[in-house]
Amino acid sequence: MTHHLELSHQQQRAFQPQKLSAPRDFIVPDRSINAELPLVLEIGAGKGKHALSFAQQNPDKHLIAIERTRNKFDAFAKLAAQQKSSNLSAIHADAIAWIVHAIAPNSIERIFILYPNPEQHNPNQQWLNMPFFEFLLSRLQVGGEVVLATNIEAYMDNAEQQANEVWCLPNTRHKVASDSQRTHFEVKYLARGETCWQLNMRKSEGYKTRFDTWQASSEA
């Protein structure tokens, strides 16, 4: 299995984390209250519908939810302040730069990427097509999973293919239940009668990336 991995994703163009500067006003969230809780990450949290409910329903996890768009983040931050969940960190930043500078290797239990921009005119920006995805997997614990959801079947077909052929991740694909309400997009798509898809990808024992020991320097 390891040999197969080296022939696949480790032959891809390598991500270059050392070239990314830290986001503006960068600070790592204070987890002193919840230092012992497993970490969960959400990329593209939008207005926070999923993040807020996940934090409430999973007091035994600490969720870091990242949103880049200012107006969406402001709406999310306002609701998060009202909810006062000590196990939720709302982050306004570009996810790639923030993760590079804030997240240690092998530290995340689960990563949610729910209804990302489909990037239909720029498929190189789809998450599983990016060299960054290898770095993201280095931050995931062994046995941890990436959860991807989309309403665009072609996006899901490509993600499933990449998970199998490039990233060599055991995975399962299924249709999202028609009454699911995790995000505003999910509610909207399901209400229109669209099919939404979910791909769960697991990092297996012995999985290797080129970034398993890489960490940003504190001076960066």
Say how many C-beta atoms besides its own lie within 10 A of residue 102's C-beta.
21
Of the listed ranges 24-33, 118-127, 173-182, the least confidently predicted one is 24-33
Cα separation, 104 vs 109, in Å, equals: 12
Give a yes or no: residue 101 inside a domain.
Answer: yes
Give a yes or no: residue 14 inside a domain.
Answer: no
CA of 156: how far to CAs of 32, 117, 118, 142, 201, in Å? 38, 12, 10, 24, 12
pLDDT bin (cut points 50, 70, 90) of residue 83 is very high
Amino acid 16: pLDDT? 86
Give a yes or no: residue 215 inside a domain.
Answer: no
Q: How many domains does the chain have?
A: 1
Give a yes or no: residue 33 inside a domain.
Answer: no
Q: At what angle do helices 132-139 and 95-102 cross, to 10 degrees?
A: 40
What pLDDT, in 10s, does the model give residues 57-75?
Answer: 999 999 999 999 999 999 9
Domain containing 102 — which CATH number? 3.40.50.150
Give a yes or no: residue 46 inside a domain.
Answer: yes
Give a yes or no: residue 26 inside a domain.
Answer: no
What pLDDT, in 10s, does the model give residues 44-57?
Answer: 999 999 999 999 99
Amino acid at 182: R
Give a yes or no: residue 12 inside a domain.
Answer: no
Domain residues for the domain of 84 are: 2-7+39-202
pTM of the model: 0.91
* Sign for the pseudo-dihedral over CA of 84, 88, 89, 93: negative
Give a yes or no: residue 30 inside a domain.
Answer: no
Q: Specify whether the CB–CB gap between 162 and 132 falls below 8 A.
A: no
